[in-house]
Amino acid sequence: MSMTNTPTAATIDDAAAIGRTLSRAFDDDPMMRWLFPDDASREVGLGRYFSTLFTRQYVRHGVCERTEAAAAFWVPPEAAAKAVPDAETVQELSDILGDRAPLLRDAVMTAAEHGPRDPHWYLAVIGADPAAQGQGHGAALLRSGLARADAAGLPAYLESSKRSNLPFYEHFGFTVCGEVKLPGDGPVLWAMRRAPGRPAGAP
């Protein structure tokens, strides 16, 4: 059954639905499988993880949009300093991850060392429910965020730990600008950058 893929602003009331959507979207993501290695508990853990990031961090300081089957969290440059997790958020994430929490901390620090220093729009999270694959949900959210970056005349930046997603981002004008091997036998992150005004994918 087709679901509308028109982006709308996400609110705090959408937290549970967004958590469910992103838990399904990231079930096969290498980084999330590294952080949540147990198959039996991964879906619940991912739902809590993404709901916490959304409610405590991105909905407060970022630009969050959703469709009926996808969600995206962006951080504009003016919010970059505020979007860093506070102590309570770090504690909540630690409770969710348990003994895997140090891996997330090290991964975030490593990725930050390789991130751009100039003003940019950062795509922190984007994911679509696999059940709605091919219906344009992720593409619609990506176009919406890129339009904001283009309007500001700024580049966009993301990291992907899933090689098969790279062509999707390349279709929207992103190019790989680096590879980051995460510590602790973590996966590789592909850093991708898009200059402002690049074609944002065919309709």
Is residue 129 one of the residues assigned to a domain? yes
Which domain covers residue 136, as residue numbers? Answer: 8-194
Predicted confidence at residue 198, as pLDDT, reads 58
Is residue 202 one of the residues assigned to a domain? no
Predicted confidence at residue 203, as pLDDT, reads 41
For residues 37 and 21, what is the distance between their CA atoms, to the nearest angstrom? Answer: 19
Is residue 1 one of the residues assigned to a domain? no
Q: What is the pLDDT along the chain (203 residues), one digit of tens a residue?
A: 456 899 999 999 999 999 999 999 999 999 999 999 999 999 999 999 999 999 999 999 999 999 999 999 999 999 988 877 888 898 999 999 999 999 999 999 999 888 899 999 999 999 999 999 889 999 999 999 999 999 999 999 999 999 999 999 999 999 999 999 999 889 999 999 999 985 544 44
Domain count within the chain? 1
CATH number, residue 149? 3.40.630.30
Contact in structure between 201 and 142 (CB atoms under 8 Å): yes
Is residue 199 one of the residues assigned to a domain? no
Predicted confidence at residue 81, as pLDDT, reads 83
Is residue 71 one of the residues assigned to a domain? yes
Buried b or exposed e, range 59-82, using 16+ CB within 10 angstroms: bebbbbbbbbbbbbbbbbeebbee
Is residue 80 one of the residues assigned to a domain? yes
Predicted confidence at residue 97, as pLDDT, reads 96
Is residue 2 one of the residues assigned to a domain? no
Is residue 168 one of the residues assigned to a domain? yes
